[in-house]
Every structure is written in C-alpha cells, then in structure tokens.
Structure 1
Amino acid sequence: PHIGGSSGAALAAVGEIISRSTLAALRGEAVANAVNLPTATLESAELARLTRVAGAAGHLLGVLSSGIPEAVIMRIHGEVVGAVAEHVFLAALSEGLQHWTTTRVTPVNARIVAEQHRIAARIVAADGRQPAPADAIDFSFEAAGDGAHVVRIRWSGGSAGIIEVDRFSLDHPLAGDMLITHHRDRPGMIGHVGMILGRHDVNIAGMQVGRHYRGGEA
C-alpha cells in the first residue's frame, strides 16, 4: 500500500499493513499487498490455508526431485480465479526452489529465481482426464526433468490437503506434520516403520498405505 497517509493514525495503520506484509513475505507466506503479485479474491485466512498446503506440496517436490528440474508445472482441475492460482503456484514454486537452489526464495521473487536457473514455470488447465469432484478444485504440481514427480492437492469446503503423491492416491487428504516413505510392498514393512518411529518417541496419529500391485512400489 502507499505510504501517503494524511494523519498520524492513517500512517500508523498503513505502517502496520506494510509490516505484516513484509513479515509474511519473509516467512514465505501469501502476501496480499505485494506490488508484483496479483490481488487474490479469497479471504486472507482461506488463502493462507490453501497456500500453506501448496507450499507443503512444493517442499515435497523438492525432496522427491534430487536435481534441478527443467520445469515446474501446475495443472488446475476445476475453475479458479487467475489471481488465486498465481498465489497457489508461487507458494509451491518457492518451496521447491529452496531445495534446488541456494538462493533465498519467497513467493514474491520465485518466478525471477526460476528464470535465473532456467526452470520453466507454467500454470495450465488440466485436460479433464482426472477431474476433481464438482465441489472441489485440485492443483497438480509437477517437477519435470529426468524423473518427473507429481504432488496433487485438493481445495474443498475451505480446507486443503495433499491427495496424491507420484500416482499414489490417498483416501484422506494429508496436512500438517507427516512422514512419507517410498518402498517395495512386502510383509512387515508397516511394522518396521512403526518400530523406527517408536524408538524415537514419535507417535502415529494416522496412517495411509498404497500400492500399484502386490509386491510392487508402495
């Protein structure tokens, strides 16, 4: 916002907005009033929930992709305002770039950093082969390169969560603190993971497992 408040109270209010926006940018959160970001149409609390999960998806892409990808692509399954889509994409892109580069990245400078590292950053409409439910919007994030990885999130009823990781669908959306393992499907694997976590005093609140076929990837 501009800093030309006409009174002491106005200047104080504007200063508070600028301070909150600056802190949000430094924390990598959605910045509603950034000059080089579009104005979002969601309420700030809703946008924060959505971008937080998008950031988690981007973080996961960064972990899954060992090298710098050729492109980061977000596919939208459903109807969403362009400004909201940009905020969601930049939240994911900035988190991924934190893993792929040594640059300090926030949603505000994410596209610039991606361009500097020759990473194509694109938002596209999905082709409709994997549509979202009528009351939801899905965002699929792909890190394309030598080995493509995809994380899909769903926004429905004011809440968001991760619903798919590398073609493994989840029965319930994931959000919050989580551990994701990639292994071969074989007897005893779930118990083995539980024992490791137990030795480190980590409690399991919930668990989901998935596989493509018996004895295959899980």
Structure 2
Amino acid sequence: MFKVLVSDPLAKEGIARLKAEAQNGAGLEVEVKTGLSKEELLRIIPEYDGLIVRSETKVTAEVIQAATRLKVVARAGVGVDNIDVPAATERGVIVVNTPNGNTIAACEQAFLLLLATARKLTQAHNTLQGGKWERKQFMGVELADKTLGIVGLGRIGTEIARRAQAFGMKVIANDPFVLPAYAEKLGIEMVALTEIYRQSDFITVHSPLLPETRHMIGKAAFEQMKTGVRIINAARGGIIQEDDLLEALNSGKVAAAGLDVFEKEPPKLDAPLLQHSNVVITPHLGASTEEAQIKVAVDAADSVVAALNGELVPNAVNLPGLSREALTELKPYLVLSEKLGRLATALSDGPVVKVEILCQGQALPNHTKLLGMAALQGLLQGTSSETVNLVNAQSLARQRGLEVVETATKEEGQFSGLTVSVRVQSQGGSSDAATGLRTFDGTLVNGEPRIVRINGYPVEVAPVGYLLISRHIDMPGIIGNVGIKLGNYGINIASMEVGRKQRGGEAVMIVSVDDLVPPEIIQELSKIPGVENLRFVSLGD
C-alpha cells in the first residue's frame, strides 16, 4: 500500500484523481494535510511514499532525509525552487513538475499584454476610473498586417504564433534549435535575431533564462529595433535589461512594454520602470487561471501514480527511478554525457538534424540507455523555455525531427574504461568538409568527467564553467595574443589546453576562464590572425 500526502492546497480535481485510483484498487491511500509546520512535516513524512506540493511546503534536504519511504515529490506547477532537487536525487527520489498545464495560460497572458500595449488599455482604464473621459490621447494600433517577432519557438511561442496569425499578423521567429521545416508547417518564417529586431512591430520573448540569454535584449538590441516597437516579456525576468528598456521607453524607441516577469521578484514597486505610463505590468500571473490550476493538479496526481507504479515520468526534473547502486555507478557518466551534449549544441553551426551517441569500452555499465538520454538532455537544454530532462529528452528530440542513433559496445576504444562519444550533424554546418559534422569524446579521469577529444583533436578539459573554444592555425603568437587580450579586459584564465594533429595544421584551443566573456571581447578575439572560429560556452557547475 502506497501512501500519498498532499501538503498544499490542490484543485479538487487532482484530489479526485488520486482518490479514484485508490478506489480502483491501485493500492493507494491519500491524505490531505495543509498548513503543516516544519516540525509537523518532519514528524509525519516518514509514513509517505509520495508527496504533492505547490509552493508553500519547503521540501528541504532535512525533510528528504527524514522521508525514508519517499519515492516521488510532485510540484503542481513549474518552479521547483522549494524542493531540494540535488538532495532528492541523491536519495533516488523522483522530482516532477507540471509544465504542460500552464502552456495556454502563459500564452494567453502574453497575448493579453500584447493587446493591452497595442490599445493603451490600462492607461485608458486608469484615466476613466480617475474621473476623466479622454479619447484622443489613447490612440492605439491594430495587430492586423503587423509583424510579430517571437524569440523562442517552444510550446508557448508556438501557441502565441497561432493566435497572432488569427489576428492577421505576419509571424517571424528566432530559435536556433528549431528546424525550418517545423516552422514552415506553422506558416512561420525563421530569421536571425537581428532580423527580429529590424522587422518586428511587436516582439514577444519566450526563451529560457541562461547565462547566454541574461540581458540578451539590451541597449544594442533596442538600437536595432524599429522606432515605436512594442515588447512583451511573460517568460523569464532578466532576459530584458530593465534599465535599458526604461531608457528606450523614455526616448520613444519603444512605444510600450508589457511585463509579467521581472529580474527581481517582487520588484521595487516604486521603480521608474513600473511607474512608466507606457508600461503594462502584472505580478507574474502567467499560470494564474482556474483551468491551469486544475491541469497542474491532475498532472501532478497522474505523475505520482505513474512513479509509484514504477513507470517513467515524462516531467521528471532529476532522474528516473534507479537503485542507489545504479545511481552511484552512473552519476559521473550522466554528468559527462549531458555536458558533451551541451557542448555539441553550443558549437554547432546551425540546427542539429542528427545525433549519434556511442558508449564504448569494457567498463560498459548497465542502463547505458540513460547515457544517451543524458546526452540528448544536454543537447536540447536551453533550446526553449521547456524543461528538458532525462525522461522527456527523447520525445522532445522526436518532436523536433531530430534523428537519433545510439550504439553501445564493449569493444575497447582508445581510452581505458568507458568512453562516451557524441557526434552531431547540423543543417548548414561548416565543420568536417562542409558536412556540419562535429564529434565530442569524453571519459572519466581519476573518477572525474573530462572532455578528451574534439573533432579528433586530443585535449583534456573538465566540462565545467566558462570555456572559450577556438579552431585556429597552429602558429606562433595565437595563445599569447588570446592571453594578453583577456588580461587587458581583466578576465582571468583558469586553464588552457591546446590539441593539434600535426605541426602547422589546424588546432583546437580550450581556455577556461573565471568570468563571462562579453560578445564584444569574443568578436575582438576572433580577429586575431590565424583564428578561424571562436565560441564562448557556459557549461555550469
């Protein structure tokens, strides 16, 4: 008999789903106990196999340690900040969220802001409530025949596009990981980010917040936009540089902005941006609909039942259920595979159309399928606002038309132990004789993940932190030039690795640095004679 605790208010439909499973002889007992103190939760949690929360209950490492029977924690919603995911993973507890339930709500919130900025809705409303009948000062614009630029064409971005087309808008989009064929079916033109800025009358942001996308839309981006553009952000605070947005609003470059998210939440309520007359603001209401709350409650209930029955859960944010022994064995290889996938995405010249994952060596562990899933997770991570995890990586790859080939063999490779290789082919790529092929190999060195080859060039680099990766001609002065220029900008080099196949031929250099390298510095480094290609990659911890 499995026992499930619901410790936060949950839509009655979710409770009903759990109780229906219990009545159907699923071996399930459900208890609803909300408003628990930390001490009360710690006292009773050892009795339960499943836990459903919203944002109120704090599932700390201490709670997880006390939950000796716990197998799954479900968050009825998207964010899992109130759950110690690493602690849960360490204990083999599955953590799931429910992102699909919020898709329509988030889409409609963004579109609401778009309409409100077009017709100066809130300004007119506030003026009328203030006792004034004003019409002339609230002249708006129509959506029909305007161009909407969508930054990030995931689930929410796609739903936005459908609604915009119904209003007679031309839709263009930028998402480096969406294949043109997918967009073409939807009647969407894929363009460069600079074209989004140049062509759009309205811009809506639906990208994930990553080191690479933080403050992506700032002063330089605003300067490229049409005068009178309207911009919407109902995705993640921090993608738009708020001070630069305020300046663009004050100058008239941006006619209006609609914001549901902010870099710091709650923001300072007296902040000039929030008080600006041409800004429509809402307090992060993207998921705040009755329907969304029902959907996330039902999804959370279904996920708990599936996990307790030993099934793979589509929205697991950590790992599928594994024994502690298997998890211990796989953990460093999972980290390695995921980082190789992230590296492959970062260094691709265009949308990836095919990925081959090879696990090779006498030390081949069980569950090698998960290593392929981890590589796909890394490959797709950050390509949209959707959560990508071990369980849903394969289905997301299929949705995008990505061809995946996985191979496992105990034949010994060049390195002792297990080697994981990720080979990608990108559309329009320039590597490997213009075929767009790139290969990344990794293994464990003294038990720690290491990148050991890039396109056949031998290296040995820890796949963590900030990396500058160049392809250049093996000639005197390049390494010194890179070091000097980084030093001039106060960027410290943590380590440097160079791999070559022959003297005077092509070589690969990987520079690990302590700080984010701005685009203008990357551009300057790319101009060093002999440097053919240079990329900045953030691989995290």
Letter in 1 for 2:364: V
More RCO (CA 8 Å, sep 6+): 1
Query: Is the contact between residue 358 and residue 407 of structure 2 (CA under 8 Å) also seen in structure 1?
Result: yes
- CA gap of 1:64–1:160, structure 2 versus 1, over 3 A, is same
Identify the residue that residue 483 of structure 2 maps to in structure 1.
194
Find the residue that maps to 1:39 and give its secondary structure.
Answer: coil
Q: TM-score, with normalisation over the residues of structure 1?
A: 0.78
From 77, 81, 84, the equivalent of 2:360 is: 77
- Cα distance change on mapping 1:201 and 1:5 into 2, 3 Å: farther
1:57 and 1:151 in contact (8 A); partners too: yes
Give CA deviations for 1:93-151 in whole Å, capped at 9, x if unaligned: 1221236x435222221100111111122320359473431xx2111111134311111
Shift in Å, 1:75: 0.8
Match of 1:174 in 2: 462
Rounded Cα–Cα distance in structure 2 between residues aligned with 1:159 and 1:206: 16
Q: Is the 8 A contact 2:360 2:411 kept in 1?
A: yes
Match of 1:102 among 376, 381, 384: 384
2 CA distance for matches of 1:88 and 1:195?
39
Q: Cα offset for 1:169?
A: 0.8
1:122 matches 2:410: no
Q: What CA distance in whole angstroms lies between the structure 2 residues aligned with 1:160 and 1:154?
A: 6
The residue aligned with 2:450 is 161
Contact 1:56 1:95 in 2 (8 A): yes
Matched, 1:208 2:490: no
CA distance, structure 1, for counterparts of residue 495 and residue 397 of structure 2: 36
Shift of 1:10: 3.2
Counterparts in 2 of 1:130 and 1:106: CA distance versus 1, 3 Å: same
Aligned equivalent of 1:57, options 340, 345, 349: 340
Using a 3 Å threshold, how does the CA distance of structure 1 residues 42 and 143 change in structure 2: closer, same or farther? farther
Structure 1 residue ranges without an equivalent (≥5): none
Task: Supply the distance in 2 between the matched residues of 1:45 and 1:39 (Cα, whole angstroms).
Answer: 10
The secondary structure found in structure 2 opposite 1:113 is: helix
Amino acid in the other structure paired with 1:209:
V
Question: Residues 126 and 13 (structure 1 numbering): CA distance in 2 closer, same or farther, change over 3 Å?
Answer: closer
**Percent of aligned pairs with the same residue?**
25
Is 1:5–1:14's contact at 8 Å kept on the other side of the alignment? Answer: no
- The 1:158/1:199 distance shift into structure 2, 3 A limit, reads same
Residue 66 of structure 1: CA displacement?
2.0
Alpha-carbon deviation of 1:211?
1.4
| Contact 1:154/1:161, CA 8 A, preserved across alignment | yes
RMSD: 3.6
**Are residues 1:89 and 2:369 paired?**
no
The answer to whether structure 1 residue 217 and structure 2 residue 498 are counterparts is no
Residues 102 and 155 (structure 1 numbering): CA distance in 2 closer, same or farther, change over 3 Å?
same
User: 1:143 aligned to 2:424?
Assistant: yes
C-alpha separation between the residues in 2 aligned to 1:147 and 1:52? 25
Return 55-64 or 202-211, whichever deviates more. 202-211
Given that 2:358 and 2:406 are in contact with CA atoms closer than 8 Å, whether structure 1 keeps it comes out as yes
Distance 2:411 2:365 in 1: 18
C-alpha distance after superposition, 1:11-34 (max 9, x if no partner): 55743453499959x999896546
Highest Rg: 1 or 2? Answer: 2
Counterpart code for 1:80: L
SS at match of 2:494: coil
Q: What is the alpha-carbon distance in structure 1 between the residues aligned to residue 452 and residue 3 of structure 2?
A: 40
What is the count of residue pairs matched by the alignment?
212
- The runs of 5 or more residues in structure 2 that have no matched partner are 5-27, 32-43, 52-63, 65-69, 95-306, 313-319, 427-434, 508-541
Are residues 128 and 46 of structure 1, via their aligned partners in 2, closer, same or farther at CA, if it must alter by over 3 Å?
closer
Paired AA for residue 491 in structure 2: V
Pairwise CA distance, 1:156: 5.0
Where 1:153 maps in the other structure, the secondary structure is strand
Check conservation: 1:58, 1:95, Cα contact below 8 A: yes
Q: Distance in 2 between matches of 1:166 and 1:202?
A: 27
**Residue 153 (structure 1) shift:** 0.8
TM-score normalised by length of structure 2: 0.34
Q: More deviation in 185-194 or 44-53?
A: 44-53
